Amino acid sequence: MKNFRIYTLVLFVGIFMNACITIGYGTGFGPQGAIFSSTKQGLGSRGKLDGPLTGSACVHNFILLAAFGDASAEKAANNGRITNIYTVNRTTFNLLSLYQNLCTVVTGDNVPIKNEISSGKNNEANFNDVITLKNGEVIKNVKAAITADSVVAVSSDGKTIVYKKSEVKGIQNNVK
């Protein structure tokens, strides 16, 4: 009976001290629950939409004894094969400090933008696709790329617009 009381005391102290000993999570990573935590925080975005591709990278911590991983935005973008990042978010998970993780999640696309754009040599021949939307809008002089669930349009000045496939009526390539 004495051992049961000791184990129960250790368990309760562990639960209530959990927020004090979540090693690896500095301030600013949101609230940590004593028993369980699962949070998502927005760190930055370029525009209002998530990108059509998603990549993540995580750091893991086991029983406060070992932590490992790479949760950089660069690693997350590489994992998702993303070259143009739209949003960066961070997720955390904690279960009694027995297991914790912190993940960086990025969204974006991998539409190649020709070197002529960045050098100022605007090669209009690369931007001759036409996208027709179901609402009647026609987007001309873009480079169109199709992903699993969206259509990405890149204009000759480097601006990127993402449309859901359900919004697109048709695409014409190399219209002159």
101 and 121 belong to one structural domain: no
The percent helix, strand, coil of the chain (3-state, each to 5) is: 20, 45, 35
User: Scanning the structure block, which residue is given the tokens 């699993």?
Assistant: 148
Domain boundary among 72, 92, 109: 109
Q: In the chain, where does DSSP find H-type helix?
A: 2-17, 73-79, 115-118
How far apart are the C-alpha atoms of 22 and 63, rounded to whole Å?
10
Q: How large a percentage of the chain has pLDDT more than 70? A: 73
142 and 59 belong to one structural domain: no
Band of the pLDDT at 4, cuts 50, 70, 90?
A: confident
31 and 97 belong to one structural domain: yes
Tell me the pLDDT tens digit for each residue of 27-64: 455 666 767 888 888 777 666 577 788 999 999 988 87
79 and 20 belong to one structural domain: yes
Taking a C-beta distance cutoff of 8 angstroms, is the pair 116, 126 a contact?
A: yes
Listed residue (169, 172, 165) closest to 130, CA to CA: 172
142 and 162 belong to one structural domain: yes
130 and 88 belong to one structural domain: no
Whether residue 117 is predicted with pLDDT greater than 50 in this model: the reply is no
The 10 Å Cβ neighbour count of residue 31 is 8
For residue 82, give its domain range: 2-109
Domains held by the chain: number: 2
- Residue partners of 170: CB distance under 8 A and separation at least 6: 131, 132
Listed residue (115, 105, 108, 12) closest to 51, CA to CA: 108
Domain boundary among 82, 109, 136: 109
CA distances from 135 to 29, 44, 138, 161, 170 (A): 42, 31, 9, 16, 12
What pLDDT sits at residue 70?
Answer: 92
151 and 166 belong to one structural domain: yes
8 and 51 belong to one structural domain: yes
Phi and psi at residue 69, in whole multiples of 5°?
A: 130, 175
92 and 148 belong to one structural domain: no
What pLDDT sits at residue 113?
Answer: 57
Residue 18 in 3-state DSSP? helix
Whether residue 23 is predicted with pLDDT greater than 50 in this model: the reply is no
Domain boundary among 54, 77, 109: 109
CATH number of the structural domain spanning residue 126: 2.30.30.100
104 and 122 belong to one structural domain: no
Average pLDDT taken over every residue of the chain: 77
Whether residue 154 is predicted with pLDDT greater than 60 in this model: the reply is yes
